[in-house]
Amino acid sequence: MIIKKIHFVIDSTQKARPFKKIIYKKYKNYPLLKSDVIVVLGGDGFMLQTLKKYQKYNKPFYGMNSGTFGFLMNKFKSRNIKKYISKSKIVTISPLEAKIRIKNKFRTAFAINDVSLFRQSRQTASIQIQNGKKNLIKKLISDGVIISTPAGSTAYNLSVHGPILSINSKKIAITPISPFRPRRWKGKVLSSSAAIKVINLNTKKRPISLVADNLEFRNINSATIKTNNYIKFKLLYDKNNSLSKKIKLEQIRKQTL
């Protein structure tokens, strides 16, 4: 990949400010439409926002970390950025699409990492989970459930003991959050072509909310979640810092715990 023009998108946080000054001293920030690549400087949350905001321009994204963990990012560098990008490897990922019903209204949201459904009050959620027309679990009493992509399987999904999915696995993970009944249900790994429907069985007494990455919807009745293969995000990673390598390292860490 030959890189001549870069468009920088830099987070406005206090952590990112020193990096911003360094970058703009050394590089010209080309207009988005004339650029070859979008370089995102920030953390994972900012990267997710930027991917969704600029996906329509069909440009590859190269992230540089100025956040806390930066799982989706490369290490920050100020020199030879074009050289690093030209030698980087591309990973193409598709998001989850959630079609949400709130009373008689319908909303749509996309998630690159995961769609999470949570209890909204002091009482546990009472939900039914379907895979197509079949019941995956007729009644789950829990704090909620997470539907995760391979890219997001090492995030919130992992913290609630969900499985880590290889980036090319074409799978999605369904993981319960603090299940009360049935206690032994650990979730399910399904094909990425699956259409998962989550239904709130008691909307009045046990309200639930849905969060698609960082976008929240409250008091939902149901949501249908599936992979949208028509949307493709192109992420660039340094040779020794690939997303698949990061996921494999997390798998090794999980096995040794």
User: Is the distance from CB of 212 to CB of 115 less than 8 angstroms?
Assistant: yes
- Give tens-digit pLDDT for 184-238: 899 999 999 999 999 999 999 999 999 999 899 999 999 999 999 999 999 999 8
Cα radius of gyration rounded to whole Å, the chain: 20
- Give tens-digit pLDDT for 41-99: 998 899 999 999 999 999 999 999 987 777 888 988 888 999 999 999 999 999 999 99
42 within some domain: yes
Within this chain, do residues 144 and 204 fall inside the same structural domain, yes or no? yes
Residue 78: what pLDDT? 87
Within this chain, do residues 205 and 100 fall inside the same structural domain, yes or no? yes
pTM: 0.87
Buried b (16+ CB within 10 A) or exposed e, 108-128: ebbbbbbbbbbbbeeebbbbb
18 within some domain: yes
- Give tens-digit pLDDT for 113-159: 999 999 999 999 999 999 998 999 999 999 999 999 998 998 899 89
Within this chain, do residues 12 and 125 fall inside the same structural domain, yes or no? no
Within this chain, do residues 220 and 102 fall inside the same structural domain, yes or no? yes
Within this chain, do residues 10 and 68 fall inside the same structural domain, yes or no? yes
Q: What is d(CA 149, CA 159) in angstroms, rounded to the nearest whole number? A: 14
- Give tens-digit pLDDT for 97-117: 999 999 999 999 999 999 999
Within this chain, do residues 85 and 126 fall inside the same structural domain, yes or no? no
1 within some domain: no
User: Is the distance from CB of 60 to CB of 70 less than 8 angstroms?
Assistant: no
Q: What is the DSSP letter of 74?
A: B
What's the domain range around 25?
6-93+232-256
Taking CA 186 as the corner, what is the angle to CA 185 and CA 191, rounded to the nearest 5 degrees? 110
Q: How many domains, in total, are found in the chain?
A: 2
Within this chain, do residues 193 and 170 fall inside the same structural domain, yes or no? yes
Among all residues, which ones are annotated catalytic? 44
243 within some domain: yes
Within this chain, do residues 138 and 240 fall inside the same structural domain, yes or no? no
Q: At 236, which CATH number?
A: 3.40.50.10330
Within this chain, do residues 134 and 214 fall inside the same structural domain, yes or no? yes
Within this chain, do residues 122 and 211 fall inside the same structural domain, yes or no? yes
Within this chain, do residues 100 and 88 fall inside the same structural domain, yes or no? no
Q: List the one residue out of 25, 17, 2, 9 whose CA is nearest residue 62.
A: 9
